[in-house]
C-alpha cells in the first residue's frame, strides 16, 4: 500500500508567497493523479514538497501510512522524472538507469541486469550503451522513465514529463505513459499545465490556483461539472461560455432569452450561466431557448468549427460540423443543451447545485 | 610584392597607397602603406620589449656575460657550458624541486581543493555569508603583491607577529623554521579566488535537476560530488589547473617574503634566477636557467592541452 496523504500542507517562500496554502489531499494506492493549473499556481512546488526537495512549512505528508514530512528525499522511496529529464551526460543509458541502485550498493551485475530488463520494456534495448546526448528527445524521456521504474519506488512523481516533446510525439508518449502506469500500478502524481493531458492520463485531477485546490475529481466530473468558474475556464480545449444571467422560476434569462434550468435560487438573483461550445447547437432559425447572434469569427478545429457570435454585448461560442461553415455576418441562433447548462454564483463563482 | 589583384603594369606601391581601395585583402580600405604605418608603433614596442629581450636572453645564455668586471665589457662565447652547469648544479635541482613542491602544494592541491570547496559550500549559504566570504577571498587576490607580502611578514614575525600572539608561541620564527610551508599556505590564500570563481561559474551551469535526481536516489554529499559534480567540472578542472600551475610556477612573490632564505630552503626557480642573475651578477648563467624554465612551462602547457583535447574527442 502506498497511498499519499497530505494534511494541511503549507509551503511559504521568502517574500511571503504562499506556493502551497493549506492543502488536504489523498491520492489512492495505484492511482494516476494529475496536478493541473496555470503556471505559478504552486503545482510543481506541491510535487517537490512531496518529494522532499522543498521542506514543508506546515502540515504533514504520509506515504503508505508513514509520516515522511521530515525525511530526506532519499529516504522517502519516491522517484521523480523532471521536465528536462536530468540524465547524467557522462553516463551511458544503462548506467543512468542503474544509478539509484548503484547508490543503494546493489551489486553491479544485478543492477545492470535489472536496468537492461526495464530498458527493454521501455523500447530502449538497442540503446543501452549510448550517451544521453546521442538520443532523441523521446528516447531521453523513456530513459528518465526507466530510471524511475528501475528504482522500484512506492511513488512516481512526474514534473511535466511530456512538455519537452514535440506535439506529435507527445500524443504517443502519453499513451505509452498511461499503459506503463497501468501495468506497474504504482501510485503516480504528475504535474501538468495542459488540461488535455490531464484529462487524457489521470484517474483523478486536482485543479489548482494560487496554492489552493479548486476542484478534485475524475476527468468526467471536472470536465462536465466544473465546481467554479475558474475550473470552468481552465478545463476544455475551447473556452466555456460564461454569460451573465438572472434566475427566473424554472430557468434563467440571458440577454432577455429564457433558458430552462433546474435550480433552487430565488427569482431575480444574478448568476453566471455556463455551457461549453460543444454542448450547444447553432440553427438558422429562432428556436425556443436560443440566443441570437451574428457570426464574428470562424476557427477551424479539424472535425468541427468554433464560431464566435456577437450577441449584443456578449460573445457566445458554439461548435458546428466542419461542412457547415457559415459566412461571417450570418445571423444564427445558439441553443445550449438544457442538461449541460451550469449555473454559478455571480459573486464567488461557485457552482449552484440543482 | 605586387598583389594578385593589382594591375600588372602599375607600380605596386603607388597602387597600394591610393586611397579608397577596397579589395578582399584590404578591408579597411587604407592601402598597405598606411596600414603599415598604423601598425608600426605597436610592432616597435613589441619588438623592443618582447622579441629583443627574448633573443637577447637566448644570446646571453651561451655567453659568460656578467653584470660587472671583464666579462661585462667583453663577454665570450661559452657554448652550452651554462646549460651543462645548470643541469648539474645542486642549487638548480633544489630550486626546481622546491618549485614543484610549491606548485603542487599551493596550486594543484591548495587552491583547487579550497576553491572548489568554497564554491560548492557557498552555493547553499545565505546571501550575506556568501558575499562576505567571496569579498574576503577576492581581496587577497587583488591586493598588490608588495602589500600582501608585508602583511604576511607582519603576521609571521617572530617577536611581534600576530600569529605568535594568537597561538601563544612567542619567538617561533615561522619564516626560518617552516619557509616552504609558509609559502605554500600564503599562495593558497592569495590565489584561491580564481579557482573559486571559475568553479562557482561552472557550478551555476549545472542543472539543479541533476543534483536533485542524486538526492532523490539517496546519494550522500560525497557521492553527489563524485557522480554528478566532478564529471561536469572535468573540463573546467583542467583549464583551471593549467592556468594556476603556470602562474604559480612563475610567481615571484616568494622573493618578497623569504627571498629564498634561509639557506636556499625557499629558493623557488624565479627567486633562484633573480638571485643568480642580478645580485649574483651572472647574467649569462641566469639567462640559461630562464630558458630552461621556459621549456618546462611549455612542456606543462603542452601536457594539459593534450589532456584537454583528448577529453574533447
Q: Which residues of A touch B (CB under 8 A)?
A: 51-53, 72-75, 78-80, 82-86, 88-90, 99-100, 103-104, 147, 151
pLDDT of residue B312: 64
Q: Cα-atom radius of gyration of chain B, to the nearest Å?
A: 26
Distance from CA of B225 to the nearest CA of A (A): 13
User: Does A88 sit within 8 Å of B227, measured CB to CB?
Assistant: yes
C-alpha B69/C-alpha B80 separation (Å) is 22
User: Does A100 sit within 8 Å of B218, measured CB to CB?
Assistant: yes
C-alpha A89/C-alpha A69 separation (Å) is 32
User: Does A103 sit within 8 Å of B214, measured CB to CB?
Assistant: yes
| Cis peptide bond upstream of B262, omega within 30 | yes
The burial of B272, by beta-carbon neighbours within 10 Å (0-12 exposed, 13-18 middle, 19 or more buried), is given as buried
Residue A294 in 3-state DSSP?
A: strand
Inter-helix orientation angle B179-204/B127-142, to 10°: 130
Helices (H), A122-160: 137-150
User: Does A82 sit within 8 Å of B216, measured CB to CB?
Assistant: no
User: Does A99 sit within 8 Å of B216, measured CB to CB?
Assistant: no
Inter-helix orientation angle A137-150/A93-103, to 10°: 20
Strand order in the sheet with A251-254: A257-260, A251-254, A241-248, A270-275, A342-345
Distance from CA of B206 to the nearest CA of A (A): 10
Q: Does B123 touch chain A (CB under 8 A)?
A: no
Distance from CA of B138 to the nearest CA of A (A): 29
Q: Does B206 touch chain A (CB under 8 A)?
A: no
pLDDT of residue B168: 83
User: Does B219 sit within 8 Å of A74, measured CB to CB?
Assistant: yes
Q: Which three cell numbers stand for residue A223?
A: 470536465
User: Does B209 sit within 8 Å of A84, measured CB to CB?
Assistant: yes
Closest CA to B105 of B36, B165, B180, B162: B180
Q: Does B231 touch chain A (CB under 8 A)?
A: yes
User: Does B213 sit within 8 Å of A82, measured CB to CB?
Assistant: yes
C-alpha A193/C-alpha B45 separation (Å) is 64
Asked if residues A199 and A224 have their Cβ atoms less than 8 Å apart, the reply is no
User: Does B218 sit within 8 Å of A86, measured CB to CB?
Assistant: no
Closest CA to A191 of A108, A80, A290: A80
User: Does B228 sit within 8 Å of A73, measured CB to CB?
Assistant: no
Q: Does B202 touch chain A (CB under 8 A)?
A: no
Phi and psi (nearest 5°) for B198? Answer: -65, -45
Report residues of chain A scoring pLDDT below 70: 1, 354
Minimum-distance CB partner of A103 among B210, B223, B234: B223
pLDDT of residue B195: 95
Distance from CA of B125 to the nearest CA of A (A): 15
Minimum-distance CB partner of A86 among B207, B231, B232: B207
Q: Which three cell numbers stand for residue A280?
A: 450547444
Q: Does B279 touch chain A (CB under 8 A)?
A: no
Give the CA distances from residue B183 to residues A78, A167, B34, B137, B271, in Å, rounded to whole numbers and listed in that order.
50, 62, 52, 17, 13
Distance from CA of B213 to the nearest CA of A (A): 7
Distance from CA of A141 to the nearest CA of B (A): 14
Minimum-distance CB partner of A74 among B207, B215, B234: B215
C-alpha A317/C-alpha B178 separation (Å) is 86
C-alpha A238/C-alpha A301 separation (Å) is 9
Half-sphere exposure of B190 (CA within 13 A, CB side): 24
Chain pair A-B, CB pairs under 8 angstroms: 62
B26 secondary structure, DSSP code: -
User: Does B209 sit within 8 Å of A83, measured CB to CB?
Assistant: yes
C-alpha A265/C-alpha A254 separation (Å) is 16
User: Does A88 sit within 8 Å of B210, measured CB to CB?
Assistant: yes
Strand order in the sheet with A314-321: A280-283, A331-336, A291-300, A304-311, A314-321
B110 secondary structure, DSSP code: I
User: Does B232 sit within 8 Å of A86, measured CB to CB?
Assistant: no
Which residues fall within 8 angstroms of residue A117, CB to CB, at 6 or more apart?
A: none
Closest CA to A102 of B207, B117, B213, B231: B213
This prediction's pTM: 0.79
Distance from CA of B235 to the nearest CA of A (A): 12
Residues of B in contact with A86 (CB under 8 A): 207, 209-210, 212-213
ipTM, 2 decimals? 0.84
Q: Cα-atom radius of gyration of chain A, to the nearest Å?
A: 24
Query: Per residue in A147-193, pLDDT tens?
Result: 999 988 999 999 998 888 888 888 888 888 898 899 889 999 999 99
Q: Kindly provide the residue ranges of all beta strands, DSSP E only, lying in B103-167, ordered along the sequence.
A: none
Hey, what's the torsion of the CAs at B303, B304, B307, B308, to 10 degrees?
-140
C-alpha A159/C-alpha A193 separation (Å) is 10
Minimum-distance CB partner of A100 among B212, B217, B231: B217
User: Does A79 sit within 8 Å of B218, measured CB to CB?
Assistant: no
Residues of B in contact with A158 (CB under 8 A): none
pLDDT of residue B22: 47
User: Does A99 sit within 8 Å of B227, measured CB to CB?
Assistant: yes
Q: Does B11 touch chain A (CB under 8 A)?
A: no
Measured distance between the N- and C-terminal CA atoms of chain B, rounded to whole angstroms: 42
Find the helix or strand (DSSP H, E) in which A310 lies: strand A304-311
Buried b or exposed e, range A315-325, using 16+ CB within 10 angstroms: ebbbbbeeeee
Inter-helix orientation angle B112-122/B179-204, to 10°: 40
Output the tens digit of pLDDT for each of chain B's 313 residues: 344 444 444 444 444 444 444 455 667 778 888 888 999 999 999 999 999 988 888 888 888 888 777 777 777 888 888 888 888 999 999 999 999 999 999 999 999 999 999 999 999 889 999 999 999 999 999 999 899 999 999 998 888 888 888 888 877 888 888 899 999 999 999 999 999 999 999 999 999 999 999 999 988 889 999 999 999 998 899 889 999 999 999 999 999 998 888 888 899 999 999 998 888 888 888 888 999 999 999 998 898 888 888 766 5
Minimum-distance CB partner of A80 among B216, B231, B232: B216
Helix and strand element counts for chain A (H, E):
8, 20
Amino acid at each position: 500500500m502506498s497511498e499519499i496523504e497530505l494534511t494541511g500542507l503549507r509551503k511559504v517562500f521568502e517574500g511571503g508567497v504562499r506556493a502551497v496554502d493549506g492543502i488536504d489531499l489523498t491520492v489512492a494506492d495505484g492511482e494516476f493523479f494529475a496536478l493541473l493549473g496555470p503556471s505559478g499556481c504552486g503545482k510543481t512546488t506541491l510535487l517537490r514538497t512531496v518529494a522532499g526537495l522543498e521542506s514543508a512549512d506546515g502540515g504533514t505528508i504520509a506515504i503508505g501510512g508513514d509520516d515522511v514530512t521530515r525525511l530526506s528525499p532519499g529516504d522517502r522511496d519516491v522517484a521523480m522524472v523532471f521536465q528536462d529529464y536530468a540524465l547524467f551526460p557522462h553516463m551511458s543509458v544503462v548506467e543512468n538507469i542503474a544509478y539509484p541502485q548503484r547508490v543503494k550498493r546493489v551489486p553491479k551485475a544485478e543492477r545492470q541486469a535489472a536496468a537492461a530488463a526495464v530498458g527493454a520494456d521501455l523500447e530502449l534495448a538497442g540503446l543501452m550503451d549510448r550517451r544521453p546526448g546521442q538520443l532523441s528527445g523521446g528516447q531521453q524521456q523513456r530513459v528518465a522513465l526507466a530510471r524511475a521504474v528501475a528504482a522500484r519506488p512506492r511513488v512516481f512523481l512526474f514534473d511535466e514529463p511530456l512538455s519537452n516533446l514535440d506535439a506529435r510525439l507527445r500524443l504517443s508518449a502519453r499513451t505509452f505513459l498511461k499503459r506503463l502506469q497501468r501495468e506497474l500500478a504504482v501510485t503516480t502524481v504528475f504535474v501538468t499545465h495542459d488540461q488535455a493531458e490531464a484529462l487524457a492520463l489521470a484517474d483523478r485531477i486536482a485543479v489548482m490556483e494560487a496554492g489552493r485546490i479548486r476542484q478534485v475529481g475524475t476527468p468526467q466530473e471536472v470536465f462536465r461539472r466544473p465546481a467554479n468558474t475558474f475550473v470552468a475556464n481552465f478545463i476544455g480545449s475551447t473556452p466555456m461560455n460564461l454569460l451573465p444571467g438572472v434566475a427566473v422560476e424554472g430557468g434563467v434569462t440571458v440577454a432577455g432569452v429564457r433558458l430552462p434550468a433546474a435550480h433552487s435560487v430565488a427569482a431575480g438573483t444574478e448568476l453566471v450561466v455556463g455551457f461549453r461550445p460543444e454542448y450547444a447547437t447553432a440553427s438558422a432559425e429562432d428556436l425556443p431557448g436560443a440566443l441570437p447572434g451574428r457570426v464574428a469569427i470562424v476557427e477551424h478545429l479539424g472535425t468541427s468549427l468554433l464560431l464566435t457570435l456577437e450577441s449584443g454585448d456578449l460573445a457566445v461560442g458554439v461548435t458546428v460540423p466542419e461542412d457547415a461553415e457559415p459566412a461571417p455576418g450570418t445571423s444564427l441562433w445558439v441553443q445550449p443543451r438544457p442538461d449541460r447548462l451550469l449555473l454559478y454564483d455571480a459573486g464567488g463563482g461557485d457552482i449552484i447545485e440543482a | 610584392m605586387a598583389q594578385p589583384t593589382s594591375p600588372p603594369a602599375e607600380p605596386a606601391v603607388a597602387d597600394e597607397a591610393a586611397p579608397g581601395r577596397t579589395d578582399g585583402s584590404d578591408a579597411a580600405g587604407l592601402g598597405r602603406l598606411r596600414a603599415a604605418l598604423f601598425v608600426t608603433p605597436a610592432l616597435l614596442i613589441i619588438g623592443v620589449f618582447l622579441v629583443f629581450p627574448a633573443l637577447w636572453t637566448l644570446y646571453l645564455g651561451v655567453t659568460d656575460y656578467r653584470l660587472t668586471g671583464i666579462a661585462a665589457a667583453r663577454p665570450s662565447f661559452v657554448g652550452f657550458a651554462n646549460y651543462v652547469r645548470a643541469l648539474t648544479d645542486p642549487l638548480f635541482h633544489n630550486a626546481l624541486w622546491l618549485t614543484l613542491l610549491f606548485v603542487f602544494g599551493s596550486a594543484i592541491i591548495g587552491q583547487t581543493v579550497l576553491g572548489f570547496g568554497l564554491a560548492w559550500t557557498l552555493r547553499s549559504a545565505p546571501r550575506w555569508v556568501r558575499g562576505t566570504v567571496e569579498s574576503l577571498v577576492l581581496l587577497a587576490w587583488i591586493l598588490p603583491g608588495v602589500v600582501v607580502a608585508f602583511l604576511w611578514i607582519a603576521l609571521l614575525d617572530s617577536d611581534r607577529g600576530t600569529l605568535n600572539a594568537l597561538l601563544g608561541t612567542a619567538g617561533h620564527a615561522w619564516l626560518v623554521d617552516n619557509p616552504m610551508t609558509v609559502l605554500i599556505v600564503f599562495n593558497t590564500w592569495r590565489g584561491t579566488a580564481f579557482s573559486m570563481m571559475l568553479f562557482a561559474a561552472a557550478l551555476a551551469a549545472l542543472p539543479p535537476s541533476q543534483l536533485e535526481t542524486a538526492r532523490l536516489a539517496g546519494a550522500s554529499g560525497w557521492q553527489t560530488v563524485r557522480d554528478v559534480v566532478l564529471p561536469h567540472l572535468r573540463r573546467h578542472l583542467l583549464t583551471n589547473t593549467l592556468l594556476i600551475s603556470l602562474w604559480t610556477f612563475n610567481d615571484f612573490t616568494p622573493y618578497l617574503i623569504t627571498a629564498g632564505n634561509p639557506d636556499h630552503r625557499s629558493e623557488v626557480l624565479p627567486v633562484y634566477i633573480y638571485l643568480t642573475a642580478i645580485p649574483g651578477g651572472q647574467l649569462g648563467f641566469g639567462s640559461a636557467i630562464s630558458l630552461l624554465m621556459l621549456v618546462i612551462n611549455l612542456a606543462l602547457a603542452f601536457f594539459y592541452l593534450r589532456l584537454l583535447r583528448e577529453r574533447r574527442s
